[in-house]
């Protein structure tokens, strides 16, 4: 099958039922996307499919054919720049394991919602868990990134 990943077409021979996460990590060495739970409950594996967050651990690779897949390695946009700068400024990560998933969800939120409220952030980020409890810094960083997007 042919996938479009981070703007490039990639030809692969894989079982169509293989979760996209395994294709990214094991076949393409795109290891920025993490495995946490494998059951769509933690968000560590979040990538964008056609610009929107999806849990790649439960997303069959066959369903990704014909879509634009973006991983943390290929996320380049104004929203990504704002999120990255805010994450760096506020030193959001602790162990870092959940952070690529957090960032992919945050990019989508900051791109689509002007001046997100706490409720907007809770709704958009609810599926991204952090066992280091960086939630306060994530919230602040999303608000900082959103302000940057308005400038």
Among 15, 16, 76, 131, binds ligand FES (CB under 6 A): 131
The least distance separating ligand FES from the CB of residue 30, rounded to whole angstroms, comes to 15
42, 98 Cβ separation under 8 angstroms: yes
Among 14, 49, 132, 149, binds ligand FES (CB under 6 A): 132
The least distance separating ligand FES from the CB of residue 55, rounded to whole angstroms, comes to 4
**Beta strand 52-55 with 68-70: parallel, antiparallel or unpaired?**
unpaired
Among 25, 48, 55, 137, binds ligand FES (CB under 6 A): 55
Which one, 37 or 149, has the nearer CB to ligand FES?
37
Q: Is 94 in the site for ligand FES (CB under 6 A)?
A: yes
Number of residues that bind ligand FES (CB under 6 A): 23
The least distance separating ligand FES from the CB of residue 12, rounded to whole angstroms, comes to 20
Q: State whether the Cα torsion 27-68-123-133 is positive or negative.
A: positive
Q: Is 43 in the site for ligand FES (CB under 6 A)?
A: yes
45, 101 Cβ separation under 8 angstroms: yes
Cα–Cα dist 14/86, whole Å: 38
Among 103, 98, 83, 93, CA closest to 145: 83
Which one, 6 or 33, has the nearer CB to ligand FES?
33
**Beta strand 2-5 with 68-70: parallel, antiparallel or unpaired?**
parallel
Cα–Cα dist 122/10, whole Å: 35
Give me the residues that bind ligand FES (CB under 6 A), please: 35-38, 40-45, 55, 57, 93-99, 130-132, 134
């Amino acid at each position: 099958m042919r996938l479009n990943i981070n703007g490039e077409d990639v030809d692969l021979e894989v079982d169509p039922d293989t979760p996209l996460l395994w294709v990214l990590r094991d076949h393409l060495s795109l290891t920025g996307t993490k495995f946490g739970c494998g059951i769509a409950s933690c968000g560590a594996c979040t990538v964008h499919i056609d610009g929107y967050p999806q849990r790649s651990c439960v997303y069959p690779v066959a369903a990704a054919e014909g879509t634009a897949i973006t991983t943390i390695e290929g996320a380049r946009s104004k929203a990504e720049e704002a999120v990255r700068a805010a994450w760096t400024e506020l030193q959001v990560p602790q162990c870092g394991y959940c952070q690529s998933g957090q960032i992919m969800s945050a990019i989508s939120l900051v791109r689509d919602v002007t001046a997100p409220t706490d409720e907007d952030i809770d709704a958009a980020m609810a599926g991204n868990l952090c066992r280091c409890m960086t939630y306060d810094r994530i919230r602040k960083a999303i608000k900082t990134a959103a302000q940057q997007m308005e400038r």
